[in-house]
Structure 1
Amino acid sequence: MRRPVVVGVDGSEASLRAAEWAADEAALCELPLRIVYASLWERYEGTDLAEDLGEPPDAVRGHDIVGTAARRAERRRPDLRVSTDVLPEEAAHALVREGRRASLLVVGTRGRGGLAEFLLGSVSLAVAGHADCPVVVLRGSHDNQATHAVRGRVVVGVGEGADDTAVVRFAAEEAQRRGVPLAAVRAWRVPAHESAESTPATGEPARTYERRAAEALDAALADVPPEVQVHRHTVEGHARGVLEAASREADLLVVGTRRHRGQYGLQLGRVTLAVLHHAACPVAVFRHT
């Protein structure tokens, strides 16, 4: 049985746009779309959703919300198989459980103007930190669509671990479906205690660290299919700043995060957390096993 693309909706415009994006993604992957509303969403996000709709909290109806999202998805992709469900439980818990049977989870941001537009809701962060499948958080100007390239590339951040090959493979598949190049980015820095030892004449140890970054890129990209056009970028600087800058020219930014056994709470590293809050495009979080 094919695992669906699952999108969480809450009735906000951001979540309905996420449903449209998820419909495009499901069509790209030739998978069904499942739209889910968790009826205890307000416990995480407060009562502002009901106020935005001009109704008291107890009048917000989950079936109306998923119905609206389904109609928007079906108008966008008439041939797509769409199912809906209303779950009487907390949103983050429900979506993480849905992720065990999903190919991909999609969630929107919850910002409503000003500084809030740059921050994520607690549900999005919890899902990105705990779901077993890849999670896409809809950030930035994604134009409600996954199929038509706006900036024309998928960007993947390559870290230091050998298991980054799985992250790169996922990013390469996304680039191949869209018919756009894959930009693989590896940030590097000279440690402060070593930078003082380098001189303009030799460029050491800077060249050493840049070479190591290039070698890490080559290793991570070894299994990328030859039909995917790959651009390699080694950039000096903090990884979070480098990836945030790269997101301004991407249709999708893919980052990896590792599972920390025995650790409770959010399981996102500082780099992943930073790009989830500040990236200019949708962010796919791929969890290492």
Structure 2
Amino acid sequence: MHLPVVVGVDGSEPSLRAVDRAADEATLRAVPLRIVHAYRWDRYEGTALAREIGLPSASVTPDDILVAAGRRARRHHPDLAVTLEAVAEEPEYVLLREARHASAVIVGTRGRGEVADLLLGSVSLSVATAATCPVIVIRGDDGNRAAEGRHGRVVVGVSDAPTAAVRFACEEARRRGAALDAIRAWRCPTRETADHPLFTGTPERLHEERAAEELEAALADAPADVRLRRHTVEGPARRVLLTASREADLLVVGRHRPGQYGHRLGRIAHTLLHHSACPVAVVPDTP
């Protein structure tokens, strides 16, 4: 069964840019595209519609938004199978439900508001935090066309253990014919000094070697046909990955399974979703 790529639209320019990316992603996966509009989005996203809709906000209907989104999707992919649906529910509930039967969900940074491109909106953040499939949040200002990547580079942040994020990043790099840069950030606590009795070498070298071993373990099952580049970088992971995002077409991070307090988005992923220079894929860990 070919699960569709799902994209949420509200008529804002960021959401229509998300449609561009979603159409590319669906084409790369050879799956249908499903465009969903939640009626109540504008209740807390404001009234700034994309120019492409060409109508005053007061007269726009859900069908108007969907027609504009469908037209946008077929602009570069005229043969793409596209379905449209408007649902009278809260947007995060709609998209989380859609995620159960999707290969990926694509969302914009924010909907119809005055600070549309500055920070991540509440709907996009909720979906990235709890969706059961990968969520790609559109960031950056280069058009975010997956089929026209400027850098030929996918970046994945590698944690202590192998995760679904690494597998997803390998697949994305292979689909795009891009190189995959796997990055493991490491830090040496300042309290550790060269004369510490537990260290026979410099603490920095030992921490870097440990990071390199963890990186190798995480990449043990990477496909041989992926152009894989390994990096161990000293510094806070958030800073290291934000820097890498400036020359990447996609940044991939993992999300841990729900704990006793339910779904949670780690600090690193939270920071990247708000400040990355390129689109960010949040991939939930799987058993």
Question: What is the TM-score with the length of structure 2 in the denominator?
Answer: 0.91
CA displacement, residues 135-188 of structure 1 (integer Å, 9 cap, x when unaligned) = 00000134241012201100000011x242x21111011000100110000100
Deviates further, 219-228 or 241-250: 219-228
Q: CA contact under 8 A between 2:49 and 2:112: conserved in structure 1? A: no
Where in structure 2 are the equivalents of 1:28-107 lying within 5 Å?
28-45=28-45, 47-49=46-48, 54-56=56-58, 59-107=59-107
Is 1:274 aligned to residue 276 of structure 2? no
Cα distance, 1:112 vs. partner?
Answer: 7.9
* Equivalent residue in structure 2 for 1:262, among 253, 260, 267: 260
Q: CA separation of 1:37/1:195 partners in 2, compared to 1, >3 Å: closer, same or farther?
A: farther
Cα distance, 1:203 vs. partner?
Answer: 6.5
CA displacement, residues 91-142 of structure 1 (integer Å, 9 cap, x when unaligned) = 0111011000000000011278996523111001000001000000000134
Separation in structure 2 between the aligned mates of residue 128 and residue 176 of structure 1, nearest angstrom? 23
Percent of aligned positions that are identical: 56
- Give the aligned partner of residue 168 of structure 1: 166
Amino acid at match of 1:98: E
Separation in structure 1 between the aligned mates of residue 115 and residue 9 of structure 2, nearest angstrom? 22
Separation in structure 2 between the aligned mates of residue 273 and residue 203 of structure 1, nearest angstrom? 35
Separation in structure 1 between the aligned mates of residue 261 and residue 267 of structure 2, nearest angstrom? 15
Q: CA contact under 8 A between 1:104 and 1:136: conserved in structure 2? A: yes
Separation in structure 1 between the aligned mates of residue 195 and residue 94 of structure 2, nearest angstrom? 53
- Give the aligned partner of residue 243 of structure 2: 245
Q: How many residues align?
A: 280
Cα distance, 1:261 vs. partner?
Answer: 2.7
Separation in structure 1 between the aligned mates of residue 153 and residue 162 of structure 2, nearest angstrom? 23
Separation in structure 2 between the aligned mates of residue 111 and residue 127 of structure 1, nearest angstrom? 14
Amino acid at match of 2:37: Y
Where in structure 2 are the equivalents of 1:212-223 lying within 5 Å?
212-223=210-221
Structure 1 alignment gaps of length 5 or more: none
Where in structure 2 are the equivalents of 1:134-283 lying within 5 Å?
134-160=134-160, 162-164=161-163, 166-195=164-193, 204-264=202-262, 267-283=264-280
Amino acid at match of 2:273: L
Where in structure 2 are the equivalents of 1:9-28 lying within 5 Å?
9-28=9-28
Separation in structure 1 between the aligned mates of residue 127 and residue 99 of structure 2, nearest angstrom? 9
2:191 partner SS: helix
Deviates further, 16-25 or 104-113: 104-113
- Give the aligned partner of residue 285 of structure 2: 288
Q: CA contact under 8 A between 2:15 and 2:111: conserved in structure 1? A: no
Amino acid at match of 1:283: V
2:57 partner SS: coil
Q: CA contact under 8 A between 1:148 and 1:178: conserved in structure 2? A: no
Separation in structure 2 between the aligned mates of residue 86 and residue 116 of structure 1, nearest angstrom? 22
Q: CA separation of 1:42/1:155 partners in 2, compared to 1, >3 Å: closer, same or farther?
A: same
Question: What is the TM-score with the length of structure 1 in the denominator?
Answer: 0.91
Separation in structure 2 between the aligned mates of residue 238 and residue 32 of structure 1, nearest angstrom? 39
Q: CA separation of 1:112/1:207 partners in 2, compared to 1, >3 Å: closer, same or farther?
A: farther
Structure 2 alignment gaps of length 5 or more: none
Separation in structure 2 between the aligned mates of residue 48 and residue 203 of structure 1, nearest angstrom? 61
Separation in structure 2 between the aligned mates of residue 129 and residue 220 of structure 1, nearest angstrom? 23
